[in-house]
Amino acid sequence: LHNVFKSDFLFKFLVIGNAGTGKSCLLHQFIEKKFKDDSNHTIGVEFGSKIINVGGKYVKLQIWDTAGQERFRSVTRSYYRGAAGALLVYDITSRETYNALTNWLTDARMLASQNIVIILCGNKKDLDADREVTFLEASRFAQENELMFLETSALTGENVEEAFVQCARKILNKIESGELDPERMGSGIQYGDAALRQLRSPRRTQAPNAQECGC
């Protein structure tokens, strides 16, 4: 369906946060528009991608969904490098997952690109009755740490697309304002096929077939 589109940019995204906060479900909801109620826990890192339209530009998000358990941290961390954006996820019904945010944040800022744009997602918004973290508290935390913030529900789909789109929009804005340079190494951003073919990475010429795909 989207085959006719060529993306203008490609952004590398991360989804991080404690185990069981719904990272994979957010990603699944975003890509498939469905709640995955039989999902398995993520081992290491899994992948997904989707092209979205942000203010007339087609942006391909390449999303790396990480395992939440501490033991996998040494492996998942190696994927942080060069991420342009991240969803930092906690579960509004679990204070413990909220308390862990500082650690996740430190990791992301240290290991991903310096200018990484992070959106804080308080997931499981549909379980309001079991809430342990208030909206106000989390939004204050977000402000203090220069994060965007949304409460989301992978179950109902509320704010899921918005989270990805807002994060992408902010990155685009930063590119347009010159704050972010897509050509800098490790920016987590690349030009897509549709934009500025002359800027295409030289590696591209080694793979001529990729251009011949029917679209």
Binding site for other proteins (CB under 8 A): 1-3, 6-7, 10, 19-20, 27-28, 31-32, 36, 38-41, 43-51, 60, 62, 67, 69, 71-72, 74-75, 78, 96, 190, 192-194, 200-201, 203-204, 206-207, 209-215
Would you say 47 or 135 has its CB closer to other proteins? Answer: 47
Q: Which residue has the tokens 């990155």?
A: 171
In the bound state with other proteins, the residue whose beta carbon lies nearer, of 10 and 167, is 10
Q: What crossing angle do the helices spanning 23-32 and 160-176 adopt, rounded to 10°?
A: 80
Place of tokens 């991080």: 16
Amino acid making up residue 64: W
Supply the minimum distance, in Å, between the C-beta of residue 20 and other proteins.
4
| Choice between 56 and 214, CB closer to other proteins | 214
156 or 211, CB closer to other proteins? Answer: 211
The nearest distance, CB 104 to other proteins, in angstroms, is 16
**CA-to-CA dists, residue 30 to 23, 99, 108, 160, angstroms:** 11, 26, 22, 6
Phi, psi for 154 (deg, rounded to 5):
-70, -25
| Dmax (CA) of the chain | 56
Residue 103 Cβ vs other proteins, minimum distance, rounded to whole Å:
14
Smallest gap from Cβ 78 to other proteins, in A, equals 8
CB of 139 to other proteins, least distance (A): 26
Nearer to other proteins, 97 or 149 (CB): 97
Nearest to 7 by CA among 198, 204, 197: 197
Question: Helix (H, G, I), strand (E, B), or coil: what is residue 55?
Answer: coil
